[in-house]
Amino acid sequence: MTGRIVSLNTSAKKGVRKKPVKEVVMKTEYGIEGDGHASSEWHRQVSLLALESIKKMQDKGLDVKPGDFAENITTEGIDLPALPVGTQMILGDGVKAEVTQIGKVCHTKCAIYYQAGDCANCHPDIFNIKKKTTVHFSMSRILKSEFCGVCHLKIAFPLDDCGR
């Protein structure tokens, strides 16, 4: 699968939209130098989001652009949710990366939440009633990728039931 990088985005702290930048410095087992999410303490140093996902939100009337969902790398032409955990990829000029998690856990209501009105607008496929589950989940199970995600700590879905 081949795609392209359309935007590189960083922010000095967590919880804010990232701003597009011309270049970044990737540090092994750390992430993007100067980015608020970079850390050698966890498995998700860099996040990716497809431009196609951003366009879906724009089609719903949201004023969003690359970086607004706090992704470091905005891609085009790659079905990111279809990549299984463990997928190896080459980014840009030979940076090796591995998919360690699909989706992310929202710990607080983000800026997009307030613009969209609720999580169902941000993640409409997740909030399809047919996909809800009563399976018990915990942060440790989510971090082990047993679930595809939880939005604002309200619901989670087993990997085989999230349509990704």
Residues 65 and 108 in one domain: no
Residues 42 and 121 in one domain: no
Residues 109 and 94 in one domain: no
Residues 9 and 74 in one domain: yes
Question: What is the percent of the chain where pLDDT is above 70?
Answer: 62
Q: What is the reported pLDDT for 162?
A: 46
Taking the C-alpha atoms of residue 42 and residue 102, their distance in angstroms, rounded to an integer, is 15
Q: What is the reported pLDDT for 137?
A: 45
Q: What is the reported pLDDT for 151?
A: 47
Query: What is the total count of domains within the chain?
Result: 2
Report the predicted TM-score, pTM, of the whole model to 2 decimal places: 0.69
Residues 14 and 72 in one domain: yes
Place of tokens 């996040």: 47
Q: Tell me the pLDDT of the chain averaged across its residues.
A: 73
Q: What is the reported pLDDT for 126?
A: 39
Residues 129 and 83 in one domain: no
Which pLDDT tens digit goes with each residue over 130-142? 334 444 445 455 5
Residues 59 and 89 in one domain: yes
Which pLDDT tens digit goes with each residue over 88-138? 888 888 888 888 877 665 556 666 666 665 554 454 443 333 334 444 445
Structure tokens at 35: 């980015």
Q: Which of 121, 95, 105, 101 is nearest to 154 (CA)?
A: 105
Range of the structural domain that residue 32 is part of: 1-100
pLDDT: is 32 or 85 the higher one?
32
CA quadruple 46, 154, 82, 69: dihedral, nearest 10: -40
Residues 82 and 120 in one domain: no
